[in-house]
């Protein structure tokens, strides 16, 4: 069960935007080294939940804890330092920098939550970090493009670059907001393979995903969010068979 040895715990989270209940009474427990998918129709509150988890949004009430530490009230970089890395729905990469340089950014910013250009240049010359960056690019299949500008990458490759930017931090928990959105079937399958390998390395993953094929390939547990509430939870097959879930999708 996901409640056993939960490493990540969302407890009774509420979040409203000017009277709109984006999240109500949201509870979620994620077991260590498991993959938990969050699915639900557009506007259900999935991205809001992820933003609360990573400190981009403060909940109106409720708590988020990770590895025994309360994350609620912490700044995004503090949460990152606690071992939580995330990929947002819109890729956040440095378009004018090449792929290797993109990877050096998170490697440095992890140290104190900020970076200066001088420190960045000093880091650029450190061999071990360059090697780490190259390994991360190898892991995601982008090593041959290491000197290309990130802005020139395809959408699928940008997502892979973002994943590499997470992996170089060696996080304990990885949060992904629709990692295959807008990808071709081929790129989706490559991303599934990559995420399965990341999962098998022992990382705990929370993934927001529309594509049921991705959910079935990857997730141990699924929570279904609709109109800000968790309406169902269970294994992928349990959730797929739920009448409530089918109704939420059709009615959403
Ligand atoms: P999902 O990711 O499931 O599609 P979101 O979490 O993005 O859903 O949005 C949930 C609801 O909250 C939507 O109705 C959306 O319009 C609203 N919402 C999200 N962010 C904001 C915001 N910053 N200000 C006002 N409303 C927002
Ligand atoms: Mg979203």
Average pLDDT for 12-35: 96
Cα 3 to middle of ligand 2, angstroms: 25
Average pLDDT over residues 146-172: 91
Alpha-carbon distance of 79 to 84, in angstroms, equals: 6
pLDDT value of residue 246: 81
Question: Would you put residue 233 in left (φ > 0), alpha (ψ -120 to 50) or beta?
Answer: beta
At 27, which helix (H) or strand (E)?
Answer: strand 20-31
Residue by residue, DSSP assigns 111-145 as HHS---HHHHHHHHT-HHHHHHHHHHHHHTT-GGG
Report the pLDDT averaged over residues 69-78: 93
Contact predicate 228/44, CB 8 Å: yes
Give the Cα separation of 58 and 38 in Å (integer): 20
Q: List ligand 1's pocket residues with C-beta within 6 A.
A: 17, 20, 22, 40, 42-48
Asked if this assembly's ipTM is beyond 0.90, the reply is yes
What is the distance between the alpha carbons of residues 101 and 17, in angstroms, rounded to a whole number? 37
Using pLDDT thresholds of 50, 70 and 90, give the confidence band for residue 56: very high
pTM: 0.89
Going from the Cα of 16 to the center of ligand 1, the distance in angstroms, rounded, reads 9
Starting at the edge strand found earlier in the chain, the sheet holding 69-70 runs: 20-31, 6-17, 61-66, 69-70
Q: What is the CA(43)–ligand 1 centre distance, in A?
A: 6
Ligand 2 mean position, distance from CA 67 (Å): 25
Residue 126 has pLDDT above 60, yes or no: yes
- Does residue 252 have a pLDDT over 50? no
Q: What is the mean pLDDT of the chain?
A: 87
Q: Tell me which DSSP letter residue 143 carries.
A: G
Flag the least confident range among 71-75, 104-108, 179-183.
Answer: 104-108
Q: Whose CA is nearest to atom 10 of ligand 1?
A: 45
| Residue among 14, 18, 41, 45 whose CB has most ligand 1 atoms within 8 A, to mutate | 45
Residue 203 · residue 172 · CB < 8 Å:
yes
């Amino acid at each position: 069960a996901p409640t056993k040895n939960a490493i990540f715990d969302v407890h009774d989270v509420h979040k409203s935007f000017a009277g709109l209940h984006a999240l109500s009474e949201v509870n979620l427990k994620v077991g260590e080294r498991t993959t938990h998918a969050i699915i639900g129709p557009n506007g259900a509150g999935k991205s809001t939940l992820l933003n609360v988890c990573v400190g981009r949004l403060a909940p109106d009430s409720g708590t988020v804890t990770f590895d025994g530490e309360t994350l609620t009230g912490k700044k995004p970089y503090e949460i990152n330092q606690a071992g939580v890395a995330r990929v947002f729905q819109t890729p956040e990469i440095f378009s004018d920098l090449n792929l290797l340089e993109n990877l050096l950014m998170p490697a440095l910013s992890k140290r104190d939550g900020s970076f200066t250009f001088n420190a960045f240049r000093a880091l650029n010359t450190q061999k071990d970090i360059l090697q780490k960056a190259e390994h991360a690019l190898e892991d995601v299949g982008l090593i041959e493009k290491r000197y290309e500008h990130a802005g020139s990458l395809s959408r699928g490759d940008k997502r892979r670059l973002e994943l590499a930017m997470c992996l170089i931090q060696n996080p304990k928990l990885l949060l992904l907001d629709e990692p295959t959105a807008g990808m071709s079937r081929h790129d989706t399958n490559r991303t599934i393979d990559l995420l399965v390998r990341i999962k098998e390395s022992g990382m705990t993953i929370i993934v927001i995903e529309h594509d049921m094929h991705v959910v079935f390939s990857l997730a141990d547990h699924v929570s279904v969010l609709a109109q800000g509430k968790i309406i169902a939870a269970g294994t992928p097959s349990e959730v797929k068979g739920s009448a409530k879930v089918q109704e939420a999708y059709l009615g959403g």
